[in-house]
A and B are shown apart, each in its own frame.
Chain A
Amino acid sequence: MTMERRAFLSTVAVAGGGLAVGGVGRLEASPARVPRRLRILVLGGTGFIGPHQVAFALDRGHTVTLFNRGRTAPELFPDVEQLRGDRAAGDLGELGGAREWDVVMDNAATDPRWVREAAQLLKDRAGQYIFISTQSVYTSRAEIGMDETAPVGRPDLPREEWTGYGPSKALAEEEAQRAFPGRATIVRPSLIVGPGDETDRWTYWPVRVHRGGNVVVPGTPRDPMQFIDARDLSEWLVRLAENGTAGVFNAVGPEAPLTSAEMFYGLRAVTSTPVSFTWVDADFLREMGVRAWSDMPAWQVPRGATAGFARMSNARALEAGLTFRPLADTGRDTLEWFLGQPPERRERLRAGLSPERERWLLAAWRVRMGGTE
């Protein structure tokens, strides 16, 4: 799982060059401007959530500065101040000096060194440090209903040996908290979805449902699903800045538990295409070599080591003002964004089953269920 998530992340970074901004700037209701205008420094800002975040922050009347390499979609916000540097090379040059910000939003870091360097450099010149972490920090996902106090990283190992995506993010969280004690906000999103997602990890579903016919869906109709619309996340991050909220938060949605049946029928509701669903048993999927998460996106087997994967508590985030758009909005906007991509981008989804493999799987499942294919 962890490796898969990490692999996906590198895909995002590589694929980011082709980012389309169809989903950006489509804020449905322009929110009222806040009385206090913040100076926000965004580390990154041109990937998947960044553009939503920046657009919302600008809409709220804040002043935004972007800091990045200038390689990913540098033309995205021509009117926003851009500082250049390369955290991988330890080059924070343009962040030096006496410049002050109210809030730093660190979107782009997995390596704890990146966070240590940026946070230490900015700790006396910024009021709040919002670090976008991940659900992958948790040591285990076996428990149901885990909150932010659950263990992170690899408690069985000394910190020097914490490697891999989740443990690295856990160390990075510590760096943020060390530099900004009581002023750090650690946000741990689950799968981030919506228009602009170049991984297709959730996009697969609205696109697949819209294609119609018999859709293979994983597990049982009661399996839990958790994810968060990039826009809900981004808007909340800005509100966390406005409210100066510190602490650690699971950023998972929706508000009430969502079952797989509710998600798939909800996605069906945004299209006119005739469609039916066949839930294929988790054990059968494994037997057939169909992998949770990558082949069956957004889903993990809801038992054993991943029993709690999609049943994380979001109570604290709700308390801190996290809200969710209707699933139909996320589904429709994601679908429309994808359908607006160039044909070569649309040709093959980057996650999920290919049509051929899905047909084969469905046939195999029918045979297993006693049919004759």
Chain B
Amino acid sequence: MATRRQFVAGATAAGLGLGLGRFPASGQAGKEMEGRAGVGGTRRRPGLQDVPRAPRPLRILILGGTGFLGPSQVDYALARGHTLTLFNRGRTAPDLFPGVETLLGDRAEGDYASLSGRTWDAVIDNSANVAPWVMDSVQVLKDAAGRYLFVSSISAHSDNSVIGQDENGPVFSEADYHEAVASGVSPGAAFGQHKAQAERETFKAFGDRGIVVRPGLIVGPGDRSDRFTYWPVRIDGGGEVLAPGDGTDWAQIVDVRDMGRFMVHLVEQEASGTFNATGPEAPLTMAGMLYGIRAITSTPVTFTWVAADFLREHRVGAWMEMPVWVYPEPQTRGFSAYDCSKAMAAGLTFRPLADTARDTLEWLKAKPEEERTLRTGLAPEKEKTILAAWHARNG
């Protein structure tokens, strides 16, 4: 049974010259939620001016809050009139929300002292990739908070061979988790096992006051992982773009702002239970995604779809070298075909792909030149070489 995490790790290893050095940190390779925004105090919050205020303002504690996903929650929650407290180490973008209370503490040290004596209507836990952190935090907060929303990952699912899996699809078991821990596998390499275990800890402490959201690939402005950003940037660069497979492979992505909004919405609705959460609403193919991105630019561009087997021969890594895409195999058929209808029924909505792509491109272009180097995608020379070989083979 190839897991999502094993698969992604394998894909990475297959990518020549794409060692872990291109990831933010080894333990965070491929993780679904937090990148590092580093946007400083110049955040723009377009599109939130018209958000109506919530009928009942809530006091929300956000664990983390300054990475990639966190700021979208904060922006939306503030627009809704909620009162926020952030809890983090104060290291990542500490100036991001000067008007928002921040309590300091380090979950790696089990240091939650600054939370003591306080109560909240809800907690949103963004910042735990290791189960023990959640084990601690839910104990600290179970009598101090009404609801606990744990940001898990679609990677909690242990089997990607099934198309259209919903929340009832298998996840890593308690035994899987303990086995991973006992065998000394790093949390990064046992990402799904840790997430699944943390989900159980959430429900153990909070019962039906617990909410678990399992995002797929979160994309958009602020994403430092570049796992989607490659495509708008590459397509905007123009010329002949190498596209993977035959265009019919599934693609699932969700805009970080849609995800942040959904999570706040779940808390407001006093939801409970588990939600697989990625997008868009109707199935999207790689062709649908790349052609949709083409629409945001005037640059002349053509796509050459290169067969998966040929890419394998040329040692092209899925996911990191060919972002959003994985090799179509029996065990990955469902990798980008999760059923998120429960989340949609609970209020998950999706902005148009063109908005996501354009905003992502503009965000990247606004960065200083030296910060614009992408962490993902085919190196330009490699793309040229493979395209030439592909054309040679096909006459």
Contacts and interface: CB of A to CB of B under 8 A. Distances in A.
Interface string A330-350: 011000000000000000000
Interface residues of B, number: 29
B347 to A, nearest CB: 14
Given A257-B302, A272-B280, A266 B294 contact: yes
Interface in B315-362: 349-354, 357-358
Given A257-B302, A261-B287, A327 B350 contact: no
B57 interface: no
Interface string B280-322: 1111000111111111111011110000000000000000000
Interface of A: 212, 221, 254-257, 261-262, 264-276, 323-328, 331-332
Given A256-B301, A271-B352, 5 more contacts: A254-B298, A265-B288, A265-B289, A269-B357, A326-B296
Interface in B82-113: none
A269 B298 contact: no
Contact of B288 (A255, A268, A324, A332): A268
B81 to A, nearest CB: 25
Contact of A274 (B280, B290, B300): B280
A272 B349 contact: yes
25 contacts: A255-B298, A255-B300, A256-B300, A262-B303, A265-B288, A265-B289, A265-B292, A268-B288, A269-B291, A269-B292, A269-B293, A269-B296, A269-B352, A269-B354, A269-B357, A270-B354, A272-B280, A272-B352, A273-B281, A274-B280, A323-B298, A326-B298, A327-B294, A328-B296, A328-B358
Interface of B: 247, 280-283, 287-298, 300-303, 349-354, 357-358
Contacts of A325: 298
Contacts, number: 74
A271 B292 CA distance: 10
Contacts of B351: 272
Contact of B282 (A275, A326, A328): A275
A265 B287 contact: yes
Contacts of A268: 288, 292, 353
Contacts of A265: 287-292, 295
A269 B300 contact: no
A276 B282 contact: yes
Contact of B295 (A256, A270, A275): A270
Nearest to B358: A328
Contacts of A254: 298, 300
Nearest to A264: B291
Q: What are the 3 closest A-B residue pairs judged by CB atoms, nearest first? A: A266-B295, A269-B292, A274-B282
